[in-house]
C-alpha cells in the first residue's frame, strides 16, 4: 500500500510540473526557441499564435487593392501631414514579385507621398542613383515623386542599448521627412527567414556602407554576418530609425506573391500559396507577428515552403529581439475590416 501511494505521488508531482511549464510558456507568449548553438537547436521552433484581446491593434483586410491599402491606413486613425515618405521596394530588374505600383496609388495621392529607398551594395541593377531611378520608372512608379535617400550622401544615427552596432548609416534625405510610412512586401528571405517591416526599413534605408555593415561581421567577408547576429542587427537599425521619428511612423505589410525569396533577387521563386491580405499597425512587432501567424493559419498546403524558410533561418528572432529591445509587443488583437 505504501509503494502504491508513493507511485501516485510521483505521477501527481510530474503532472504539476508539466502544467506549470505549460503555463510559463503561455505567459512568455510567443515562441519557444532553444538558444543552444547546436545544429538541432538552430532549427528548433514551436509556433504559438499570440493573438489575444487587449493586445496591440493590427488591422487586416483580405482584399489586396489600392482602396484596401488606403482603408488599413485610415483604420490606424492617424492623420499624417507635412512631407511623407512611402518606404517601398522598387524591385530588382527581372523580379516580378514586388508590390506593383498601382497598389500604392490611392495612399500616395491621399498623403501626397514620395516613394523612397536607398541604393544597394551588391552589384544589382539598383546600385547607383541614376540606375535606381530608371528601374523605379520602368516598373511603373511614375505617378508620385521618387527619392533615392542616399543620392546626396549619408548620415549616421546612434543606436541605443545595442549589442552589435553603435550607429546606423542611412541616406541623408531620411531626416527631410516628417512622416515615414513603411509599406513592406512580406515574403521569405534567404538570410533573414522573412522580410517584412523590419527588413524593409533597416536594409532598405541603409546606404551601401550600411548594408555592408549589416551583412558583414568585423574582419569578415561580405555576408559573413548571419543567423541571430544578422537578425539582431536588422532590429538595431530599426531602433535608430524609430528613435529619429518618434510617433511619426506607420507600418503596413502586404501578404501577396509569398515567395521564399526577396524582391532583390532577379529570378526569385514564385509563390506556392495563395495571397492572404494587407495588415497595418502602429506596433511593428505585433504587425510582423500577426503576419507570421496568418501564414501558419492558412489552409493552403503550399505554405510549407515559406514556413520552412522562416524556421530554418530562425526568422522569428527578429520579433523576439525587437520586443526585448522595446519596439513593441507580440500580443496583438486582429481587427478585420
187-204 residue pLDDT tens: 999 999 999 999 999 999
pLDDT digits (tens, 9 = 90+) for 133-177: 999 999 999 999 999 999 999 999 999 999 999 999 999 999 999
Beta-carbon contacts of residue 152 (< 8 Å; ≥ 6 apart): 172, 173
pTM of the model: 0.87
Provide the residue ranges of all domains of the chain, joining segments of one domain with +: 1-33, 35-336
Name residues of the chain where pLDDT drops below 50: 1-8, 11-44
Task: Let me know the angle formed at the C-alpha of 254 by 249 and 260, rounded to the nearest 5 degrees.
Answer: 120
Q: What share of the chain is helix, strand, coil (3-state, %, to 5)?
A: 40, 20, 40
Task: Let me know the angle formed at the C-alpha of 98 by 92 and 102, rounded to the nearest 5 degrees.
Answer: 120
pLDDT > 70 fraction of the chain, expressed in percent and rounded? 86
Would you give the DSSP letter of residue 171?
Answer: E
- 128 HSE (CA, 13 A, CB side): 3
CATH class of 35-336: alpha beta
Q: What is the pLDDT of residue 25?
A: 37
Nearest CA to 47 among 303, 322, 301, 295? Answer: 295
Q: Please state, in angstroms and rounded to a whole number, the distance separating the CA atoms of residues 239 and 268.
A: 29
C-alpha pair distances (Å), 95 with each of 107, 256, 263: 23, 14, 6
pLDDT > 90 fraction of the chain, expressed in percent and rounded? 81
Nearest CA to 213 among 231, 228, 233, 195? Answer: 233
Q: What is the pLDDT of residue 221?
A: 75
Q: What is the pLDDT of residue 43?
A: 41
Q: Return the C-alpha cell found at 301.
A: 498546403
pLDDT digits (tens, 9 = 90+) for 6-36: 344 553 444 444 434 344 334 333 444 333 3
Q: Please state, in angstroms and rounded to a whole number, the distance separating the CA atoms of residues 208 and 311.
A: 28
Amino acid at each position: 500500500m505504501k509503494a502504491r501511494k508513493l507511485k501516485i505521488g510521483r505521477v501527481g508531482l510530474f503532472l504539476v510540473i508539466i502544467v506549470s511549464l505549460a503555463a510559463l510558456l503561455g505567459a512568455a507568449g510567443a515562441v519557444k526557441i532553444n538558444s543552444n548553438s547546436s545544429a538541432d537547436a538552430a532549427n528548433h521552433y514551436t509556433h504559438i499564435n499570440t493573438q489575444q484581446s487587449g493586445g496591440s491593434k493590427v488591422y487586416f483586410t483580405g482584399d489586396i487593392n489600392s482602396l484596401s491599402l488606403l482603408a488599413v491606413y485610415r483604420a490606424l486613425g492617424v492623420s499624417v501631414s507635412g512631407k511623407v515618405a512611402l518606404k517601398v521596394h522598387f524591385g530588382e530588374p527581372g523580379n516580378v514579385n514586388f508590390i506593383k505600383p498601382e497598389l500604392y496609388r490611392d495612399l500616395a495621392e491621399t498623403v501626397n507621398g514620395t516613394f523612397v529607398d536607398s541604393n544597394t551594395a551588391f552589384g544589382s541593377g539598383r546600385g547607383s542613383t541614376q540606375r535606381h531611378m530608371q528601374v523605379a520608372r520602368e516598373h511603373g512608379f511614375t505617378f508620385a515623386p521618387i527619392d533615392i535617400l542616399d543620392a546626396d550622401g549619408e548620415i549616421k544615427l546612434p543606436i541605443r542599448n545595442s549589442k552589435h552596432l553603435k550607429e546606423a548609416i542611412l541616406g541623408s534625405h531620411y531626416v527631410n521627412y516628417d512622416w515615414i510610412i513603411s509599406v513592406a512586401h512580406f515574403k521569405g528571405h534567404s538570410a533573414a527567414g522573412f522580410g517584412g517591416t523590419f527588413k524593409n526599413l533597416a536594409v532598405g534605408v541603409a546606404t551601401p556602407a550600411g548594408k555592408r555593415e549589416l551583412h558583414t561581421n568585423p574582419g569578415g567577408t561580405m555576408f559573413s554576418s548571419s543567423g541571430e547576429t544578422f537578425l539582431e542587427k536588422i532590429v538595431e537599425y530599426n531602433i535608430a530609425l524609430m528613435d529619429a521619428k518618434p510617433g511619426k511612423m506607420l507600418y503596413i505589410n502586404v501578404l501577396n506573391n509569398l515567395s521564399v525569396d526577396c524582391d532583390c533577387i532577379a529570378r526569385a521563386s514564385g509563390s506556392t500559396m495563395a495571397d492572404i491580405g494587407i495588415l497595418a499597425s502602429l506596433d511593428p512587432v505585433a504587425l510582423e507577428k500577426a503576419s507570421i501567424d496568418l501564414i501558419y493559419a492558412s489552409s493552403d498546403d503550399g505554405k510549407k515552403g515559406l514556413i520552412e524558410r522562416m524556421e530554418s533561418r530562425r526568422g522569428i528572432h527578429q520579433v523576439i529581439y525587437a520586443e526585448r529591445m522595446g519596439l513593441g509587443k507580440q500580443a496583438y488583437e486582429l481587427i478585420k475590416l
